[in-house]
Amino acid sequence: MSLSPHIPVLPEEVIQLLSQTESSSPKWFLDGTAGEGGHSRLILERFPDCHLILVDRDAVMLERAKANLPLERQVFPYNLNFSDIDREVLDAIGCPGLDGILVDLGVSLFHFLHSGRGFTFKQEEPLDMRLEPRLGVKTAADIVNTSSVLDLKKIFWDYGEERWALKIANNIIEVRRKKKFETNLDLAELVKGSIPRKLWPKEAHPATKVFQALRIEVNAELEHAEKGIRSLSSLLNPGGVIACISFHSLEDRIVKWTFRDLKDQDDFSILTKKPILPTDEEIRSNRASRSAKLRGLKRILPIESIG
């Protein structure tokens, strides 16, 4: 499959944050969610002498990122969840510590358009939603077809903030007694029929929140987000920076409070009092950026190294 054009969100703002690292050269950067490799390419361009650790939990996405980067450079690809990166991984490639980290918590447009795993509403696909399909975790269909009504309601409310969560959950139970849910469109049509037509969102599919909730549940995204931010931050060199991009309130809340908690440990300072948002110009040229929020955290230099 040929690579489609990819525009990384908040490109200048990300580089500006990562440029605040005060570690010595050659610098070590880690892109914890490689995606199409857009941000990684910017890092390599801005820091031509750096080493880059390229990470993605989806093997397909990792290959797409590698194809978009000059691999003659010092690039070290890993098919892992960013929350699994530890000191042992760094030691294996001779990395003394990280000077800059980027974690983009969004799901790539590729998953919605081309993965065939049921993230989309545009064409019929299996109701899967796994970002790591090689692993034996439950699919979205497994969850929809086996969970209790209260569990489904909790998933849709907690992870999608869907006000019609209970009605949708009840309707799922009724339908699956006759026929199990197999495809994305099976579920999308049920959600559409569960929400009064006059209350459908104007700029999104009525099932958007339910699909978001299922994707988060299937992939344990919020758990990995907090675990990953904490563990990666501990691998920063003094003066190093971690930048996190989130795309909905649940993610941003985790980034915000995890950063605050790390700051309270006196080893870190918050670089962004408020999240950095895309400009109107960026939103016009890249609709995928419209809900993006960027936050940054820096590991404090030891007192004796200041001045």
Which residues sit in the known binding site for S-adenosyl-L-methionine? 37-39, 56, 82, 104, 111
Cis peptide before 133 (omega within 30 of 0): no
Are 22 and 239 in contact by the 8 Å Cβ rule? The answer is yes
Are 82 and 103 in contact by the 8 Å Cβ rule? The answer is yes
Binding residues: 37-39, 56, 82, 104, 111
Integer Cα distance of 6 and 143 in angstroms: 32
Q: Residue ranges of the alpha helices (H) in the chain?
A: 11-18, 38-46, 59-67, 87-92, 109-113, 140-146, 149-160, 165-176, 184-194, 208-219, 221-233, 249-263, 280-285
- What is the separation of C-alpha 227 from the centre of its chain, rounded to a whole number of angstroms? 13
